[in-house]
Structure formats: structure tokens, C-alpha cells
Amino acid sequence: MKFKLSFLLLAMLFISCQEKHKSPHVENSKTAIETNLWLDYSKASTTFKLWSPTAELVKLNLYKNGFEGEPFETHELTPSMNEVWTKKISKDLAGTYYTYQIMLNNKWLEETPGIYAQAVGVNGKRAMVIDLETTNPSDWNKDKQLELKSPNDAIIYELHIRDMTIHPQSGSSIPGTYLGLVETGTKGPNEVATGIDHLRALGITHVHLLPTYDHYSIDETKLDKPQFNWGYDPQNYNVPEGSFSTNPYDAEIRIKEFKTMVKAFHDHGIGVILDVVYNHTGRTETSNFNLEAPNYYYRFWEDGKPSDASACGNETASEKAMMRKFIIESVSYWAKEYHLDGFRFDLMGIHDITTMNAVSETLKKINPNIFVYGEGWTAGDSPLPMEERALKKHITKMPQITAFSDDIRDGLKGSVFDDKSSGFVSGAKNTEESVKFGVVGAIQHPQIDYQVVNYSNEAWANHPWQSISYVSCHDNHTLFDKLKVSREDADNTTLIAMDKLANAVVMTSQGIAFMHAGAEMLRTKKGEHNSYNLPDSINQIDWNWKVKNAHVVDYYKNLIALRKAHPAFRMTSANEVRKNLEFKTVKDGLVSYQIGNYANGDTWKDILVIYNANTKVYDYALDDAWQLAVIGDNFTLDDGKAISNMIKVPAISMLIAYRK
């Protein structure tokens, strides 16, 4: 009976993974899933491992460096019953570079560093045997990740490492690098703080780094020539990008400098979130996945054509056991080895729900404070059945995961796909329910008419922290550019008021607050939609903006201070929000609500929030006496002016009053 059951299990695994267009036997052993495929290094020996179910032969090439020359040794790997090829070499190989090659149909494929490579040479072509202990900065064992009572305590700042310090007036001595980002004491024009000092003063809790694993786009041998890319073209998933290091030729340096950056952020009370792109690879035929197990890691349509839900040329198949294993082990590696505080999944909707739940459950065991969020959509159709996709509408099936709310994003400023589309802050009609939906964090609330929310006709979050509240990110226009292109008739003063109101709503909403780097200083990309490979002149943070728009920077600082000081804006459960948050006057261009009962342990008993998107002052009738906390640009969080009967809410602004 045991034999029959084992045979049936093997057969089921075989059938589930085999497809007509693929080589005939793929993943027919459960033990491959349970095998540790990471390099096994010690000073005494190193064991190399590669899972390749269709290979006829596998060889290991050893090199003196990571970029040139012939191998000084070549070894054959030995296959096992679980389709894992291994070779143990009994000597200290630390610092030795290596590649694998598989033979398929009697032909050697290109060399690959292997998908489990932890260190690579310049441009990621060759992996390196490494003693990771040697890459730890001073006191790494004392490094502490951030602790959060609830995920929506986070205030996330999304940045690209090069953007923050590459401007000639950034004050950085090593611009465009991991170390440059955390260099303290840097000054810009008029002696304004830049880099990490700016982030500390702003008050954000986490930085979200656009992809900083090794990607194809940047030629690391030509860093004297300006190059830019967001990095959504993965090459080596488990290695930091070399172009942000001071020496991409030395495999250890990028690792140590990445860790040094993380520790510096932690030392200043800022968490680090990594943007991860497991949904597609930068190349297809010659990707590291295909050079190990051709076609296995990707999805295909029934006719054998590759699917492309990423709109980047391919899509990976997270539902396949070895791909799921890779994703889970990869994020776990980053969490443990690099002490990361969270992960943002690009096009999370391409992945399956089971995998995403396994990711979050595994990470929570490593660090209960880690959180996982992603884009709850795809960029195209997929063979993965709709009901299995990790989409925004399926967040209720993913209890520890958060999704971006495009509902509040476009409700506030207009559709990202239509330049002329406007939103609540820019004068659009009938957007109030979308704003309300965003305010409560996409949960079920009795006062919301879900039939007129812009993209969702029902609640999609179990808890308010499962929704990312935001109005702009690296994609599409910056907030200020979007307002400008959609309201060409508005003057600069009006556009600035719209900008401030948009993120005022974000910072007083119940979801996780998220902002795009530079939004606080009216960042512009000169009207560009998609700047993923455009020059520094488009993408860089120009620190002159901080001088020119100092009053806007101050407004954002005050918004962040307000949110951090008052936990009523970040309640932890849907029941808490339903119990304590009540919408009051809602009409064209106006949304007001009241939070009561010292919500979430707040020091204020009652809080009144009014968003006036109208171009005229609004006379708001008060039911009782209040104290004024925010009006226009003025923030008084203690001992505010007493008000009663009626208050004039300035045009295109937020007003907050409270009772103790």
C-alpha cells in the first residue's frame, strides 16, 4: 500500500508539472522540493548544487575572477534521484568565481551563475564562493529591525538609490551609491539637509527601495558613463545590484555596502523594504532559470506560446513547486542575511494566492514585524485561473498581506491612464465615495456606497492595514505633474494646494501611508509618464526644489508628525474603524468625518477631519466646541484655538479639530 501511495504521489507531481511543449520529465521527485539548493561553504569544503531535471550532463567551471579568462578547473556534477546535481570540493574556495553549464540535446547551454547565487562578479555573469560572515559590517549582530504594533504604523517613502544623491548639489561624496544614500551631514543648496538627514527630518518610518538586486540594465563595467534604470529586469535575485556599490568587480563589496546601508537606516530608526520582482525575468531564453531548467519556471498557453501577464516578455509560474520554493527561500534569505523589514511585490497578481500566503507566513516566523505588500493586479492576461491569482480583490484570502489601493490613488487625482482625468482634489465630481473608501482602508463600512467607488464595488480588505493609501509612486506621472497636466487652467498656487490636500488625505487615512520620493518638494519629471530608463536629468531629486518649496516640505513634515502622534489615524481592525469613525457632511467637493472614543488609545477623545476640495471657503457648522489643530498650513497639535458654531474651511485644504 505504501508503495502504491508513493507511486501515485510521484505520478501526480509528474502530471501537474509536465506540459506538451516541455521536455518529458520535470520535477518527478518530492525530495527536490525539500533539498537545500544553496551553496554549502566551509573552509574545509564547498558543495555545489543545481536542480536540473532535464540536463544530460552538468559541469562546474572555476575562475580566478568574475569577468575574464578561461576556467582554471572544470568538474562534472553527479546526478541524484531527486534531480539535484552535486559536486563537493574539499578545499577552501572562498573568493573563487564559478559558473554552471548544462547539456541538453547533446549541446552545452550558456554558462550561468545559478539561481541561488549569493555573490557575483561584475555584470552578474559569474557567481563567487563567499564566506558571508566576512561581509558583515561592525556590530551587525547588534543590528535591530523596526518593531511595529501594526503595519499601518508604517509611513513608507519609495525611492530609487541613484535618484536621491546623483544631483550635483546633493552634497554626497559618493553619489548614486548605497553608502552615499546613508552619508550623514550632506548639504544641498542653501545648506538644506539632503540624503538620510532629509529622511530623518521628514519623519518617515521606512524606505522602500526600488529594485536593488542585480539586474541586467546597467553595464557595471562602464559606471563612468551615466546610466539609469528602475531595475525591473531581474538577473540575479539574491545579490545586491553592483552599480550602486563602489566596486562592482569585487563580489564582497556590494554585499557589505548594502548591509552597511541597512544598518545605517536602522541606527536612525528607519526600516528598509525591498521591491522584489519574481513575476518575470529580464530575459527569457537566456535567463538563469532557463539555463538550468529550460521552460520549467515559466507559464505557457495551451498552444505552447509563452504567456506575458507582466507585459515584460514572460511570466513566472509561482504555482509550480520549485518556483514557489525559490520565491519563499529567496525572500527568507534577504530577511535573514540582510535584516530587511519588508517586501513589496511587483505585479503581485501574477503570483498565486497559496504562494503569497506561504511567503508571508514564512517571513512572519523570521520576524513578526516584517510586512508584505504588492500590486494587486497584472499587466495582461495569464493562464493562471482568475480565482487563484493574488489580486487586490482576493486580499481577504491573504490575511497577512497588503495591496495598493488604486481606488484612493485615482479617486484623489484622476486616472493614471488618462492625462486629462481629474480627481477629488482637482475638481472632479462624484469622487467622494472613492475618497471615503480610501479613508477607511478598503474595509466594509456601513456609510459607503460601494456601487459608486471607482474600481471596487465591494470591500476588499479584512483590516485597514491591508490597504496601501497613496496618490503617487515611481510609475506614471509624479503627483505634481499629474495635477498640472490634468488641470492646465489652474495656477501654481492652486496646484500646490491640490498637491498638499491629496497627501493630507493619504496621511489621515486608515491604511498604510505611502509616498513617492520628492513629493514633499513638488517633484517633477518634466511631464514624463514612464521614466524607467530616462536620464538623471528626468529622474534625479533636484535639491533646489527643497529650497524653492520649503513651505510644502514643512507641510509634509507636519502631516507625518500628525499621523505619528495620533494613533486614531491608524486603527488596527475593521471593527475599530466601524465603531469609531463616522462620516458627517459629504457633498460635492467636501468630505468630513469624526473619530471618537479615544480611538486606538489616542490622547484626543474626538477628532473632526474636513477635506474641502472646493475652490471657495466652506462654512462648516459645528455641533459643539472644538479646538483647532490644523487649518491651512498651520498645525497646532497642543492647546489649539477654541472654535464653536461655525468654522471657515479654506479652499482646497484640510481642517482638523479635536476634543480632549
Phi then psi dihedrals of residue 276, to 5 deg = -115, 145
- Please state, in angstroms and rounded to a whole number, the distance separating the CA atoms of residues 627 and 552: 24
Nearest 5°: phi and psi at 154? -75, 140
Can you tell me whether residue 463 is helix, strand or coil? Answer: coil
- Beta pairing class for 234-240 and 371-374: unpaired
Rounded CA separation 547/286 (Å): 47
Q: 332 exposed, middle or buried (CB, 10 Å; 0-12, 13-18, 19+)? A: middle
Cβ contact 208:215 at 8 Å: no
HSE (side-chain half, CA atoms, 13 Å) at 556:
29
Please give the helix or strand (H or E) that residue 515 lies within, else none. Answer: strand 512-516
Phi and psi angles of residue 501, each rounded to the nearest 5 degrees, phi first: -65, -40
Q: Which of 27, 375, 406, 602 is catalytic?
A: 375
Phi, psi at residue 611, to the nearest 5°?
-105, 115
CB proximity list for 175: less than 8 A, separation 6 or greater:
165, 166, 167
Do 238 and 120 touch, CB atoms closer than 8 A? no
Query: Residue 167's closest CA among 190, 199, 189?
Result: 189
d(CA 149, CA 292): 42
Burial class (CB in 10 A: 0-12, 13-18, 19+), 505: buried
Active site residue 406: no
The residues near 398 (Cβ < 8 Å, ≥ 6 apart) are 353, 356, 357, 360, 390
Within the chain, what is the greatest distance between any pair of CA atoms?
86
Q: Does the active-site annotation cover 375? A: yes
Residue 506 is placed in which grid cell?
493619504
Rounded to a whole number, what is the distance in angstroms from the first to the last CA of the chain?
Answer: 71
Task: Report CA dihedral (191, 197, 201, 204) to the nearest 10 degrees.
Answer: 140
Query: One of 346, 410, 576, 602 is an active-site residue; which one?
Result: 346
Angle between helices 492-507 and 479-486 (to 10 degrees): 130
CB 540 within 8 A of CB 172: no
Q: Which three cell numbers stand for residue 594?
A: 469624526
Quick one: 601 exposed, middle or buried, by C-beta within 10 A (0-12, 13-18, 19+)?
Answer: exposed
Closest to 532 measured CA to CA, from 240, 179, 277, 223: 277
CA 531 – CA 251 distance, rounded (Å): 29
Q: Provide Rg for the chain, Cα atoms.
A: 26
Distance CA 114, CA 118 (A): 9
Distances 10 to 26, 63, 565 between C-alpha atoms, Å? 11, 38, 57
Strand partners, 316: 298
CA-to-CA distance for 337 and 211, rounded, in angstroms? 17
Label each residue of 7-52 as H, E or C.
HHHHHHHHHHHCCCCCCCCCCCCHHHHHCCCCCEECCCCEEEEEEC
In the chain, the amino acid numbered 374 is G
**Catalytic sites, residue numbers:** 346, 375
